[in-house]
Amino acid sequence: MKNRLIPCRDFIKQSNFQTLNNSRSIPKRSHLSKALLPAILLMGQLGFAQTNTKTAPPVPEVRVIQPGDKRIFAPQAPEGYHLLFKGSDRSPIIDSTGAITTPLVESKVNLYFQLISNQIDTLKYDVSKQVTVPGKFADKGTNSQPFVIPALREWHGGVGNYALTASSRIVVNMVNKTALQKVASILKREIKEQTGLSLAIISGKPENGDIFLTLQEPDKSIGEEGYYFKVDQYITISALRYQGLFWGTRTLLQLLEHQTSIPKGIARDYPEFKVRGFVLDDGRKFFSLQFLRGYVKLMSYYKLNDFQIHLNDNGFKKYFNNSWDSTYSAFRLENTTYPGLTAKDGSYTKKEFIDLQQLADDYVVRIIPEIDVPAHALAFTKVVPAIGSKQYGMDHLDLHSPLTYTVIENVLKEYLGGDHPVFTGKEFHIGTDEYAKQEAEAFRAFTDHFIKYVQGFGKDVRVWGALTHAKGTTPVTVKNVTMNTWYNGYANPVDMKKLGYRQISTPDGWLYIVPAAGYYFDYLDCKNIYDNWTPSMIGDVRFPAGDPTIIGGSFAAWNDIVGNGISEKDVNDRVFPAMQVLSQKMWDGNHTENDYAGFATASKQIGEGPAVNIRGRISADTTFTTRFTFNKPDPKVQLHGATYTQGIKGQALAFLGDKSWATLPYPEIGYNYTISFWINPAGNPSGDVTLFKGPNSVVKLKQGNTGKLGFSRDGYNLDFDYTLPENVWTHVVISGTNKGTSLYINGQLQKKLYDNWIQFTDKEKTKMRKVETLFFPLQQIGGFHGKIDDLQIWNRVLSDQEIANDK
């Protein structure tokens, strides 16, 4: 066995709580991939995924492609072998038959062959060859390629710029008028949200300044997700399918994010990988429907098309006094067959989930619902205890009980059956991860049964890779099954390819975020991913670019540590920078237009998409500040039962209790920020008393019955262990980062909610970081008896000295 290697220096920094060489101390999908090698070694070797030997018979280079060539000419196979062409990493240039479509500009294409023995047809080698295909244009033209994420795969620059104006129109091709109405309506709304311009939608022929949408693109090679983006006197977005056309509108919106001028030129754009995904653990931490809907739009903005929602899971028994009854578990969907199954601390109705999928369809994102069995199944066994395993624990289903099969079939049928199923998409994920190894044959039988059961409803099936861990002779269905290969010790990707599974590269050692857990990544190493990873890499196995069995990649956020204080906003703070990088890598593999430093700088200019503000940005400018003196009526401050009165600095706002408040023009502000204000509370009841309220959090004058200044968000109630005095003016400053929240009173630091820990009672006496962050709520101010004066907001964290001076 190879020594276990840690894939990232950040991983070492985060490993204060666990002994990383003992996998038993690291729960849930936390087996550090034993075969992981440093990325620098991976980049220097060629792994052959069909055989254990890396010494293949030499194969000559592919004949140089000349202008006008219609097909590639495969090289001569060595004696005793034949060569099969299987595909390329740019199928719109060289497709799976070897046919060539001329790109806009000269392009490098990686070709994938299999070299097969004439005597033993199971002896196969992967062979990768790179060719250069001449372009339609001799160079990239005059205008530089504009920056978008992911980068345009082909670009030829024109001369001059196109300008969007109030008189511009969205013009839909008459031939596709009905099909184009939806994308045109979405684009109209989002252009207004992005630029303030309200454009008319018409059908017919475009004129100068217009945006023309058409599904009549003559280039059939670009596939379902490809599109042309032509900028001249007007913009033309042309595609073959709705998906490609919609991606073209995302490119347009990114270009319009900070200006209404776009360089003239032509782009031919398309993805390398069909699946470009993100997995969200919704089982151990609830995410609001608003958050999920925002994520559909956010992912779409970056052309990520696969959103896997992990709908059930449970915490680790050792963190809950070693009691299964006390261990947290949740199942997030309304269920009428077993009503007790639905989590009481957060769930979705069937209608809400159907509507979410409809939104995703409109935005070209697949929702992949996942119900994870037969492990991670405590939510089920709490409702039907008889199906829990007495040998392996109540988070394992009893695979030898017929009742287990009946219960899980009943649950799945409720969402998959009927004329109008709850799960509306083509694919469904049945989990099948991390079951006890001793029950390999029973596990394989269970997996095969539920693959076939789900396929009986007309669905294709996804599973977690586990068949290397669960070695056995019981066959498991391969046809129309896709596997998330995440840890090579659980599912060796070479063996899974030989078995015939399509694979989504989901490698734990590269792409697993586990917030504030001390293992895997708190924040992904984006530079390392950008420089060294593509979906063709799973652990230490590197498949040739263009291998059609590797259909894409996905990264994941696992909320392992139940109750550690992580908020939706904290998860997004970790996911968003990774999403920008992985959007690029999953769309374009190894082809990167910029080095990482250039990408990282330019990416700061691209946000979350029109009307999506999960990061709580008030301004992109870190020097931004605003002040509400309340000295006179302000149209930006709307009063509801509040009045102006004498303050500490002129006038102030006076509030008369929970029916008295004012609204501000900002819903909230995200990290990094500083808020300061003067407050003079009068007599207030001892229960919860609000100071500020927003869409995701509340700042309280009195947190619960503690009487302490504090805040609540995501079901957590925190306080600063400080009580504001009544009937006197006090200067309060609260600052927040992604690490914690600080309180200053009258210019002096009172409390820092940073670096606090949760002490568990397990035998290892585990300590985990307590997350006490806050997006400061600004939508509503008031709701108490007293006065507030001179509210200031900074889009950065002030120093202690600046805070002292501000007073």
Answer whether residue 276 shows pLDDT above 80. yes
Identify the residue with better confidence: 56 or 470.
Answer: 470
CA 800 to chain centre: 35
Residue 491 has pLDDT above 90, yes or no: yes
First to last CA, the chain: 63
What pLDDT band is residue 54 in, cutting at 50, 70 and 90?
A: low
Q: Give the model confidence (pLDDT) of 713-745 as tens digits.
A: 999 999 999 999 999 999 999 999 999 999 999
Rounded average pLDDT over 287-309 = 98
Percent of the chain with pLDDT over 70: 93
**Average pLDDT over the chain, rounded to an integer:** 92
Give the chain's largest Cα–Cα span: 96
41 pLDDT higher than 90: no
Q: Tens digit of pLDDT for each residue in 679-695?
A: 999 988 888 999 999 99
The pLDDT of 587-614, averaged and rounded, is 92
Cβ(320)–Cβ(378) below 8 Å: no
Give dist(CA 247, CA 250) in Å, integer: 5
Distances (CA, A) of 319 to 48, 311, 611, 653, 761: 43, 21, 40, 47, 7
Contact predicate 92/268, CB 8 Å:
yes
Q: Which residue has the higher pLDDT, 44 or 118?
A: 118
- How far is residue 17's CA from residue 433's CA, in Å, rounded to a whole number? 25
Is the pLDDT assigned to residue 10 strictly greater than 70?
no
More confident residue, 35 or 497: 497
Q: pLDDT tens-digit profile of 538-575?
A: 999 999 999 999 999 999 999 999 999 999 999 999 99
Contact 564, 758 (CB under 8 A): yes
* Cα distances (angstroms) measured from residue 241 to each of 97, 251, 358, 361, 369: 22, 16, 18, 13, 25
For 4, residues 6+ apart whose C-beta sits below 8 A from its C-beta are 20, 21, 23, 32, 34, 36
Q: Taking 50 as the threshold, does the pLDDT of residue 15 lie above it?
A: no
pLDDT in tens, 208-255: 999 999 999 999 999 999 999 999 999 999 999 999 999 999 999 999
Assess whether pLDDT exceeds 70 at residue 19.
no
Query: 282's torsion region: left (phi>0), alpha (psi -120 to 50) or beta?
Result: alpha
Are residues 584 and 577 in contact, defined by beta-carbon separation less than 8 angstroms? no
Min mean pLDDT across 20-34, 172-186, 513-527, 592-606 is at 20-34
pLDDT digits (tens, 9 = 90+) for 126-140: 999 999 999 999 999
Find the DSSP H helices in 378-505: 378-383, 402-416, 440-455, 493-499
Q: What is the pLDDT of residue 585?
A: 97
Q: 333-379: per-residue pLDDT in tens?
A: 999 999 999 999 999 999 999 999 999 999 999 999 999 999 999 99
Average pLDDT over residues 526-538: 96
Cis amide prior to 150 (ω within 30 degrees)? yes
pLDDT-derived band of residue 629, with 50, 70 and 90 as boundaries? very high
Q: At what angle do helices 596-603 and 568-588 cross, to 10 degrees?
A: 130
Residue 460 has pLDDT above 70, yes or no: yes
Amino acid 12: pLDDT? 30
Rg (CA), the chain: 28
